Amino acid sequence: MTPSPPADGYDRITPYHVYQDAGAMMAWLTETFGMAERHVVRRPDGHHWYFATPEASGV
């Protein structure tokens, strides 16, 4: 089976991190490195469940 190339804007391998407070981590990444949310999924209570940033680069 031949693997499909990644979608435009995505790398073949993307690091994935789990944070106890993803919203606080996104705020720190924004303040420290100027990153912006590319995609975010929030829980029903409004907290971040998942986020992706365009500056995050895989291998």
Q: What share of the chain is helix, strand, coil (3-state, %, to 5)?
A: 20, 15, 65
Residue 51 pairs with which residues in a beta bridge? 40
Q: What is the pLDDT of residue 55?
A: 58
Chain segment 19-42, per-residue pLDDT in tens = 888 888 888 988 898 887 777 788
Give the pLDDT score at 54: 64
